[in-house]
Structure 1
């Protein structure tokens, strides 16, 4: 089952396995949104967009459509 960062629940942490380089802004890549790094969902905006994540010790807001382009693997 393919998971993406938009499927996380608040407080859940996962490892980024892949990113769609055609859809992810360069700024997110520079902030550590790269395969192998941890991503934790911190908060969801009132209408569900954007999502607030901790990625590589940076707090970032990522639009829902962009978050769907970040593949993850949850820890078991």
Structure 2
């Protein structure tokens, strides 16, 4: 195998984009050593988690950016 999951002995992978309406943040990936470990319902659930995670990451990054801008202005 020539993919990231091979290093941990994964035989199945499921992934979902971490995306907000404005941008793509990254990808949420889940690995399993079991062959054909995931079903469509698993993919649907991962999509929901990825959507929620993307919103939280985006809000956290926005808050951090605002904090840092405020700190720079105080200098």
Q: Same fold (TM over 0.5)?
A: no
For the pair shown, the structure with the greater C-alpha radius of gyration is 2
TM-score (norm 1): 0.24
Higher strand share: 1
Higher helix share: 2
